[in-house]
Amino acid sequence: MDTWHVPVAPNGLVLGYDLSQIHETQMFRSDHHHHGHHFALYALDREGEFYAEKEPLLLIHGLEGGPKDFQAVVDRLRGSAEYQLYVAAYPDFRTRTSVNGKDFAAELRRLIAAVGTGRDITIVAHSMGGIVTRQALNDLVIDGHVGEFGRIRVFAVDTPWHGYPGPEDGLMMSFARPFLPAGLQDMRAVSPMFHHLYSVELPETMSLHLVFADRRTEVMDYTDVPVSELVGKLADYYSYDTPITGEPMVMNFWKALLSSDAYSGCEEEMRKNADAGMLDAAEADRILRRWYPKFLGDHVGVLHQRDEGGFIDYLEQRLAPRNQPE
């Protein structure tokens, strides 16, 4: 693995662009004050240069993933004049998601201390990495650290905002816990983490862009049962003021949409159609597809899609200089 010791870079290292050479378990952060392995960020470059003046662009993988999942993204964006690329190393499977989120928040503060306070940051988070990122943003807000950053924008790709089936905390969970990996415990739709995940109001300086893969395997979206129940509920909500209720997976997903950057536009279009008597479940579905796009590929393949019109094209367009409209 190409590695350069650069003291001013986060965690003192810069890694090469060949992500297949990264041995993630060797890259976890550890210190004398905290036992175990922790979230760590590493800058990327082909010759060991570190560009602190460029906007940090962080690539955060999901459960049982790794930095290599982003190879196609790195190949497209390497050498950017605007962005310094970083990858994350963290124990996604053996550490609770909520704990990884707290570690990520701490690592973000270390990053901003290294590159300068008030800086903008862009995060591309895949799968459970989106949940880890949302938890990190929540912690920054709760702990009063938002002012240390400029704008933080997140592109969450095929993230399971719904959570997964599993027992509530209590007797059943006490029996299941020894057999459930730590990385899955918080991913239950009824977990304490999901109960609080959407309760923190993010400031205007933080934005969440939600996109999905068009071939669903491990993650549901608004077209999959039971989450698809939300589509008809939205049509009734905007047409007849019918309160939205449902099982935790449905409500979790709706709360994720509510906290995303696209929801205000989506809501405006739904209200306009409802006022015209034209909003049914089919139209609500079409509106959601416009505001929450789906890209070619399955859960992991969506990150590998190099064809025109794929997610990487979309990302590159949205990463245009900030003085241009997104």
- Per-residue model confidence as pLDDT tens digits over 143-163: 999 999 999 999 999 999 999
For residues 143 and 240, state if they share a domain. no
For residues 105 and 214, state if they share a domain. yes
pLDDT category at 185 given cuts 50, 70, 90 is very high
For residues 278 and 300, state if they share a domain. no
Rounded distance between C-alpha atoms, residue 80 and residue 64, angstroms = 28
* Higher-pLDDT residue of 271, 2: 271
Mean pLDDT for all residues in the chain: 93
Pair 40, 116: CB distance under 8 Å: no
What is the Cα gyration radius of the chain? 20
For residues 120 and 263, state if they share a domain. no
Interval 215-228: pLDDT, tens: 988 899 999 999 99
For residues 99 and 183, state if they share a domain. yes
For residues 310 and 247, state if they share a domain. no
Q: What is the CATH number of the domain that holds 129?
A: 3.40.50.1820
Looking at the domain assignment, is residue 326 inside a domain?
Answer: no
Domain that holds residue 52: 3-220+292-318
Looking at the domain assignment, is residue 183 inside a domain?
Answer: yes
For residues 70 and 216, state if they share a domain. yes
- pLDDT of 128 > 70? The answer is yes
- Global pTM reads 0.94
Domain count, the chain: 2
- pLDDT of 291 > 70? The answer is yes
For residues 185 and 199, state if they share a domain. yes
Q: What is the pLDDT of residue 36?
A: 63
Pair 59, 88: CB distance under 8 Å: yes
For residues 155 and 257, state if they share a domain. no
Interval 274-287: pLDDT, tens: 999 999 999 999 99
Looking at the domain assignment, is residue 325 inside a domain?
Answer: no
For residues 203 and 230, state if they share a domain. no
Mean pLDDT of 241-262: 97
Among 301, 321, 319, 323, which residue's Cα sits nearest to residue 310?
Answer: 301
Q: Identify the DSSP state of 227.
A: T
For residues 173 and 227, state if they share a domain. no
